Amino acid sequence: MSTHNRQLRVGMVGYAFMGAAHSQAWRTVNRVYDLPARVRMSTICGRDPGKVADAADRLGWDSWTTDWRALVTSDEIDVVDICTPGDSHAEIALAALAAGKHVICEKPLANTVAEAREMAAAAATARTTGVRSMCGFNYRRVPAVTLMRQLVEAGRLGVIRHVRAAYLQDWIVDPQFPLVWRLQKDKAGSGALGDIGAHIIDLTQYVTGQRIGGVSAITETFVKQRPLPAGSSGLAAQVDGHGSVDGHGSVDGHGPATGPVTVDDAAVFVARLDGGALATYEASRFATGRKNALRVEINGSLGSVVFDLERLNELEFHDATLPAGEQGFTRILVTEPEHPYLSAWWPPGHIIGYEHSFTHQMRDFVEAVATGADPTPSFEEALQVQLVLDAVTRSAERSSSWTEVASTPAPVPA
């Protein structure tokens, strides 16, 4: 049998926001890219039989189950895709790796450093037997971001001096928005810091090739009590047309039941990268009017580059080596066939969108698994992001004191 006829049978745990995004990518990846293996969307798993059955039909999965343990040990599954809240990442990933399944796990890798260390160690051990694993930081796979990294690697920016990163949303500005799982520390691990701050930590380290060595941070929870939801999931809570809670509970008929918000609503920190650059980071879900505003700017001795997720197909590039009269930020439309990932898509100028980053992620993962290579970001890289999140949390708890980021163990060779 040729390698192109090899099948990778995928089992996915979770079917909400990320489950839908991953499903779209699994459906699409072999239709767009010529890969050494073909994906089969075998089984999707969720707790509610009715909802997971509907998701299987709607998202294109062959079958469904409510038993993730049976899924990860099944002889009919080669890859386990984890799209659940963070409190279950470690248990599912460890079981899947122990069962010899390749694993892709959504970010952040875990809810705690201890869990992330255990997962990274298990992934390193599994790698010695040919089992591969990856953490799903999808923004790495936006073509403009990959091009941004290539410009830095080629020395076009010179010595990196400043990094500015912000990821701003506003979906919980209304104090009547319900207490969904993303606002509960035991399920989500942290708030804006881990949910969206993790993305800009990974993205800036990926683009610059430098790691964050230390931080000084402040975090805040602006709304400390919220109504308990009748039924909600992450970003898709039940709300009426005016953005207020629809059908939340009550306490003895005296008004809505509420519960404490146990995560941060916003996090701001300064950092020093190990290559000497200074950096600022801002993650907030209280930036009124900002829906999904991720922006990164890198300043170097020879130039600067800027990426804005709301202009996903563009980069701004300033080349300071040009004569002064010719300098200025240039808009690069990242849609050419020679740009990363784009040779398989549309003619130049025909833009792509958010969902394509997941298709590119699955392309890289399938290619790595099928060829016996190590996909990135590895669990070890994701652990390093977790250590930064932990340092930010500890700094904020200690009145913004300077806090070093703990080191990660050396990976076990394959």
pTM of the predicted structure, to 2 decimals: 0.92
d(CA 93, CA 89): 6
Task: Read off the amino acid at residue 145.
Answer: V
Same domain, yes or no, for 130 and 145?
no
d(CA 86, CA 106): 8
d(CA 207, CA 200): 10
Tokens of 75: 């002889």
**CATH code (residue 67):** 3.40.50.720
Tokens of 164: 């500015």
Same domain, yes or no, for 371 and 399?
yes
Same domain, yes or no, for 173 and 55?
no
> Which of 138, 162, 183 represents a domain boundary (last residue)?
138
> Is 227 in a helix, a strand, or coil?
strand
Output the pLDDT for position 413.
44
> Is 188 in a helix, a strand, or coil?
helix
**CA 138, 144, 148 angle in degrees (round to 5)?**
100
Please name the helix (run of DSSP H) or strand (run of DSSP E) that holds residue 105, with its range, or none: strand 102-106
| Helix and strand numbers, DSSP H then E, in the chain | 11, 17
Q: Extract the residue ranges of the chain whose pLDDT is less than 50.
A: 1-3, 232-253, 412-414
Same domain, yes or no, for 187 and 292?
yes
Q: Provide the CA 108 distance to its chain's centre, in angstroms.
A: 6
Q: Is 392 a domain residue?
A: yes
**CA 174, 179, 89 angle in degrees (round to 5)?**
125
What is the DSSP annotation of 345-370? Answer: SPSTT----HHHHHHHHHHHHHHHHH
Same domain, yes or no, for 191 and 292?
yes
List b or e across 402-412, with b for residues whose CB sees 16 or more CB atoms inside 10 angstroms: ebebeebeebe
- Give the number of residues written for the chain: 414
Output the pLDDT for position 4.
55
**CA-wise closest residue to 313 among 299, 331, 294, 296:** 331
Task: Give residue 16's domain range.
Answer: 7-138
Same domain, yes or no, for 189 and 130?
no
Q: Is 237 a domain residue?
A: no
Same domain, yes or no, for 272 and 390?
yes
**HSE-CB for 53 with a 13 A CA cutoff:** 3
Please state, in angstroms and as integers, the Cα–Cα distance from residue 21 to each residue in 133, 254, 333, 358, following that order.
Answer: 19, 40, 25, 7
Output the pLDDT for position 233.
46
Peptide bond into 348 cis (omega under 30): no
Same domain, yes or no, for 17 and 63?
yes
- Indicate the angle between helix axes 113-127 and 89-98, nearest 10 degrees: 20
Residue-wise pLDDT tens digits, 109-149: 999 999 999 999 999 999 999 999 999 999 999 999 999 99
> Which of 117, 138, 159 represents a domain boundary (last residue)?
138
Same domain, yes or no, for 272 and 145?
yes
Ramachandran angles phi, psi of 59, nearest 5°: -95, -10
Number of domains in the chain: 2
Output the pLDDT for position 251.
41
**CA-wise closest residue to 140 among 41, 208, 212:** 208
> Which of 121, 138, 155 represents a domain boundary (last residue)?
138
Same domain, yes or no, for 160 and 286?
yes
Please state, in angstroms and as integers, the Cα–Cα distance from residue 345 to each residue in 56, 259, 337, following that order.
Answer: 27, 47, 8
> Is 403 in a helix, a strand, or coil?
strand
Q: Is 216 a domain residue?
A: yes
Same domain, yes or no, for 49 and 189?
no
